[in-house]
Amino acid sequence: MSSLTDQNAWKKLTSHYASIQSKHLREFFDSDNQRGQKFSLDACGIFLDYSKNRITGETIDLLLDLARESKLPERIEAMMTGEKINITEDRAVLHTALRAPRDAEIIVDGENIVPEVHAVLDKMSSFCDSITSGDWTGHTGKPIRNIVNVGIGGSDLGPVMAYEALKHYANRDLTFRFVSNVDGTDFVEATADLNADETLFIIASKTFTTQETMTNAHSAREWLLKNLGADQSAVAKHFVALSTNADEVSKFGIDTDNMFGFWDWVGGRYSMDSAIGLSTMLAIGPDGFREMLAGFREMDEHYRTAPLEKNLPVLLGLLTVWYTDFFGAQTTAVLPYDQYLKRFPAYLQQLTMESNGKSITLSGDHVDYDTSPIYWGEPGTNGQHSFYQLIHQGTHLIPCDFIAFAKSLNPIGDHHDKLTANVFAQGEALAMGKTRQQVLDEGTPEELAPHRVFEGNRPSNTLLIEKLTPAVLGKLVALYEHSVFTQGVIWQVNPFDQWGVELGKVLAKKIVPELQSSDQLQHDSSTNQLIERYRNLK
Ligand code: F6P
- Distance, CA of 436 to CA of 445 (rounded, Å): 11
Q: What is the pLDDT of residues 252-271, one digit of tens each?
A: 999 999 999 999 999 999 99
The amino acid present at 81, given as its one-letter code, is T
Do residues 405 and 344 make contact, with C-beta atoms less than 8 angstroms apart? no
Cβ pair 433, 453 in contact under 8 A = yes
Q: Please report, as a single letter, which amino acid is at residue 105.
A: E
Distance CA 245, CA 305 (A): 35
pLDDT reported for residue 230: 82
Distance 153 CA to ligand 1 centre (A): 5
Q: How far, in Å, are 40, 60, 126, 310 from residue 34 at the CA level?
A: 10, 16, 52, 17
As a whole number of angstroms, the distance between CA 473 and CA 294 comes to 10
DSSP string, 2-62: --GGGSHHHHHHHHHHHHHTT--HHHHHHH-TTHHHHTEEEETTEEEE-TTSS--HHHHHH
pLDDT score, position 461: 99
SS (H, E, C) 318-375: HHHHHHHHHCCCCEEEEEECCHHHCCHHHHHHHHHHHHHCCCECCCCCECCCCCCCEE
The number of the ligand 1 atom at minimal distance from the alpha carbon of 213 is 16
Identify which of 191, 155, 158 has the alpha carbon closest to the alpha carbon of residue 175. 191
How far apart are the two ends of the chain, measured CA to CA in Å?
A: 55
Task: Kindly compute the dihedral angle of the four CA atoms of residues 118, 122, 127, 129, in this order, to the nearest 10 degrees.
Answer: 140
Q: CA nearest 276: which of 158, 357, 189?
A: 158
Phi, psi of 219 (to 5 degrees): -65, -35
**Rounded CA separation 384/423 (Å):** 10
Q: With beta carbons less than 8 A apart as the criterion, state whether 160 and 178 touch.
A: yes
Residue 453 contacts residue 436 (beta carbons within 8 Å): yes
Q: Whose CA is nearest to atom 1 of ligand 1?
A: 153
Q: How far is CA 328 from the centre of its chain?
A: 23
User: Nearest to residue 300, comparing CAs of 158, 478, 469, 465?
Assistant: 478
Q: Which of 160, 207, 242 to mutate to test the pocket of ligand 1 (most atoms within 8 A of CB)?
A: 207
Query: Is 354 in the active site?
Result: yes
Q: How far is the CA of 152 from the centre of ligand 1 (A)?
A: 6
Active site residue 123: no
Residue 155 in contact with ligand 1 by CB distance below 6 A: yes
Span from the CA of 40 to the centroid of ligand 1 (angstroms) = 36
Instruction: Tell which one of 178, 206, 262, 263 to mutate to probe ligand 1, the residue whose CB is within 8 A of the most ligand atoms.
Output: 206
Phi, psi angles (nearest 5°) of residue 234: -65, -25
Give the H or E element holding residue 42: strand 40-43
Q: How far is the CA of 207 from the centre of ligand 1 (A)?
A: 8
Look up residue 92 and give its amino acid.
A
What secondary structure letter does DSSP report for 259? E
Peptide bond into 324 cis (omega under 30): no
Name residue 47's beta-bridge partners: 42, 464
Q: Is the CB–ligand 1 distance for residue 152 below 6 Å?
A: yes
Q: Which pLDDT score, from 0 to 100, does residue 2 have?
A: 60
pTM value is 0.98
Catalytic, out of 212, 298, 354, 378: 354
Rounded-to-integer distance, Cα 275 and Cα 297, Å: 17
Amino acid at 298: E
Cα(154) to ligand 1 centroid in Å equals: 6
Looking at residue 226, what is its pLDDT?
Answer: 97
CB atoms closer than 10 angstroms to residue 173 = 9
* Strand bridging mode 46-49 / 460-465: antiparallel
DSSP state letter for 167: G
Quick one: angle between helices 502-515 and 211-228, nearest 10? 50
Do strands 46-49 and 199-204 pair parallel, antiparallel, or not at all (unpaired)? Answer: unpaired
Q: Per 3-state DSSP, what percentage of the chain is helix, strand, and coil (rounded to 5)?
A: 55, 10, 35
Residue from 38, 71, 418, 505 carrying the catalytic annotation: 505
Q: How far is the CA of 348 from the centre of ligand 1 (A)?
A: 15
Nearest CA to ligand 1 atom 16: 205
ipTM: 0.98
Q: Which of 93, 150, 155 to mutate to test the pocket of ligand 1 (most atoms within 8 A of CB)?
A: 155
- The closest residue, in CA terms, to atom 6 on ligand 1 is 268
Low-confidence ranges of the chain (pLDDT < 50): none
Cβ–ligand 1 distance for 313 under 6 Å, the answer no
Centroid of ligand 1 to alpha carbon of 189 (angstroms): 23
298 is catalytic: no
Instruction: Give the number of the atom of ligand 1 that is nearest the alpha carbon of residue 354.
Output: 6
